[in-house]
Amino acid sequence: MRRKNDILWKGILEEVFPDLLLFLFPDAESRFNMKRKVVFLDKELAELYPAPEKNADTRFVDKLVKVYTKAGTVKYLLIHIEVQGQYDMEFTKRMWTYFYRIYDRFLGQPVIPIAIFTGPDGKRMGDRFELAYEGMELTYKFNTLHIIDFKDKDLEASNNPFALVLLAAKKLLLKGKNLDKRLLEQKLFIARLLYRKGVFSRKKIRAVLTFLDNYVLFEKPEMNRIFREELDSLSGKNNTMGIIEQVAEMKANEKAARLLLENTDFSVSKVAELVGIPVDLVKKVKASLRAKLQVK
Kindly state the percentage of the chain with pLDDT values over 70: 86
> Cβ-count burial of 161 within 10 angstroms (0-12 exposed, 13-18 middle, 19+ buried)?
buried
Residues 6+ apart with CB under 8 A from 274: 4, 214, 256, 260, 266
| Segment 67-114, tens digit of pLDDT | 999 877 778 999 999 999 888 899 999 999 999 999 999 989 999 999
C-alpha span between 267 and 264 (Å, rounded): 9
pTM of the model: 0.75
**Strand pairing of 2-3 and 216-217?**
antiparallel
Cβ neighbours of residue 92 closer than 8 Å, sequence gap 6 or more: 125, 126, 127, 128, 129, 140
Within 8 A by CB and 6+ apart from 225, the residues are: none
What's the confidence (pLDDT) of residue 180? Answer: 87
Band of pLDDT at residue 237, cut at 50, 70 and 90: low
**pLDDT confidence of residue 106:** 93
For residue range 215-229, what is the model confidence (pLDDT) as tens digits? 877 888 788 888 888
Mean pLDDT of the 37-61 span: 70
pLDDT (0 to 100) of residue 121: 86
Mean pLDDT (the chain) is 82
- Which ranges of the chain would DSSP assign to H, the alpha helix? 7-15, 17-24, 28-31, 42-48, 91-105, 122-125, 152-157, 161-170, 179-197, 202-215, 221-235, 243-263, 268-275, 279-295
CA 143 to chain centre: 17
- The letter for the amino acid at 45 is L
> Can you tell me the mean pLDDT for 15-27?
92
Q: Which whole number is the average pLDDT over 152-170?
A: 92
Give the alpha-carbon dihedral of 102, 108, 112, 117, to 10 degrees.
Answer: 30
Q: Average pLDDT of 27-34?
A: 90
- Please state, in angstroms and rounded to a whole number, the distance separating the CA atoms of residues 223 and 78: 41
Q: Please say whether the beta carbons of 218 and 184 come within 8 A.
A: yes
* pLDDT per position as a tens digit, 258-271: 888 877 777 888 78
Averaged pLDDT, 176-192: 86
How do the domains of the chain map onto residue ranges? Answer: 2-149, 175-239, 243-295
137 bridge partner residues? 132
- Residue 50 has a pLDDT of 60
Strand 61-68 with 128-133, pairing: unpaired
Residue 6 pLDDT class (50, 70, 90 cuts): low
CB atoms within 10 A of CB 104: 10
Region 119-142 average pLDDT: 92
Q: Is the pLDDT of residue 273 over 80?
A: no
| Mean pLDDT within 224-239 | 75
More confident residue, 108 or 296: 108
pLDDT at 176: 67
Q: Is residue 238 very low, low, confident or very high in pLDDT (cuts 50, 70, 90)? A: very low
Residue-wise pLDDT tens digits, 202-215: 888 888 888 888 88
